[in-house]
Structure 1
Amino acid sequence: MKVLIVEDQRRLGEFLKQGLGECAYTVTWVGTCREARDALAETNYDVIILDLSLPDGDGLHLLSEWRRAGFNEPVLILSARDSVEDRIKGLDLGADDYLPKPFSFEELRAHVRSLLRRQSAIKQTVITHRCVRLDLLGHTVKLKEQNIDLTSREFALLEIFMQNVGRTLTRSYISERIWPGLTDNNLLDVYMSRLRMKLESNPSEPLFKTLRGIGYQLV
Structure 2
Amino acid sequence: MKILIVEDQSRLGQFLKQGLKECAYTATWVRTCAEASDALCETKYDAIILDLGLPDGDGLDLLRTWRNSGFNEPVLILSARDGVEDRVKGLNLGADDYLPKPFSLEELVARVRSLVRRQASVKQIVLEHNGIRLDLVSHTVKVDGHDVDLTSREYALLEVFMQNHGRILPRTLISEKIWSSHYDVDTNLLDVYMSRLRSKLETLHGKPLFKTVRGVGYQLM
Give me the identity figure in percent.
Answer: 68
Q: Give the match for residue 163 of structure 1.
A: 163
The structure-2 alpha-carbon separation of the partners of 1:69 and 1:146, relative to structure 1 and needing over 3 Å to count, comes to closer
Matches within 5 A, 1:37-116: 37-116=37-116
Separation in structure 2 between the aligned mates of residue 212 and residue 99 of structure 1, nearest angstrom: 41
**Per-residue Cα deviation, 1:69-92 (whole angstroms, up to 9, x for no partner):** 222211100111212222122112
Q: Which runs of 5+ in 1 are unaligned?
A: none
Q: Give the match for residue 190 of structure 1.
A: 192
Separation in structure 1 between the aligned mates of residue 49 and residue 203 of structure 2, nearest angstrom: 41
Tell me the secondary structure at the aligned position of residue 95 of structure 1.
coil
Separation in structure 2 between the aligned mates of residue 65 and residue 5 of structure 1, nearest angstrom: 17
C-alpha displacement of 1:40: 1.1
Separation in structure 1 between the aligned mates of residue 104 and residue 188 of structure 2, nearest angstrom: 49
The answer as to whether partners of 2:76 and 2:98 remain within 8 angstroms in 1 is: yes
The structure-2 alpha-carbon separation of the partners of 1:156 and 1:14, relative to structure 1 and needing over 3 Å to count, comes to farther
Tell me the secondary structure at the aligned position of residue 145 of structure 1.
strand
Which letter does structure 1 place at the counterpart of 2:188?
N
Q: Give the match for residue 141 of structure 2.
A: 142
Separation in structure 1 between the aligned mates of residue 5 and residue 209 of structure 2, nearest angstrom: 32
Tell me the secondary structure at the aligned position of residue 45 of structure 1.
coil
**Per-residue Cα deviation, 1:26-53 (whole angstroms, up to 9, x for no partner):** 2211011110111111122121100111
C-alpha displacement of 1:194: 3.8
1:213 maps to 2:185? no
C-alpha displacement of 1:203: 8.5
Matches within 5 A, 1:117-136: 117-129=117-129, 132-136=132-136
Separation in structure 2 between the aligned mates of residue 52 and residue 203 of structure 1, nearest angstrom: 37
**Per-residue Cα deviation, 1:117-165 (whole angstroms, up to 9, x for no partner):** 2222333122134564323345x132423543223xx443321211233
Separation in structure 2 between the aligned mates of residue 102 and residue 5 of structure 1, nearest angstrom: 16
The structure-2 alpha-carbon separation of the partners of 1:175 and 1:78, relative to structure 1 and needing over 3 Å to count, comes to farther
The answer as to whether partners of 1:132 and 1:141 remain within 8 angstroms in 2 is: no
C-alpha displacement of 1:55: 1.6
The structure-2 alpha-carbon separation of the partners of 1:61 and 1:198, relative to structure 1 and needing over 3 Å to count, comes to closer
Separation in structure 2 between the aligned mates of residue 50 and residue 142 of structure 1, nearest angstrom: 35
Which letter does structure 1 place at the counterpart of 2:111?
H
Separation in structure 2 between the aligned mates of residue 40 and residue 105 of structure 1, nearest angstrom: 24
Equivalent residue pairs, number: 216
Separation in structure 1 between the aligned mates of residue 189 and residue 31 of structure 2, nearest angstrom: 36
The answer as to whether partners of 2:148 and 2:201 remain within 8 angstroms in 1 is: no
Tell me the secondary structure at the aligned position of residue 198 of structure 2.
helix
* Further displaced range: 122-131 or 91-100: 122-131
Separation in structure 1 between the aligned mates of residue 134 and residue 205 of structure 2, nearest angstrom: 21
Which letter does structure 2 place at the counterpart of 1:100?
P
Normalization by structure 1: what TM-score? Answer: 0.83
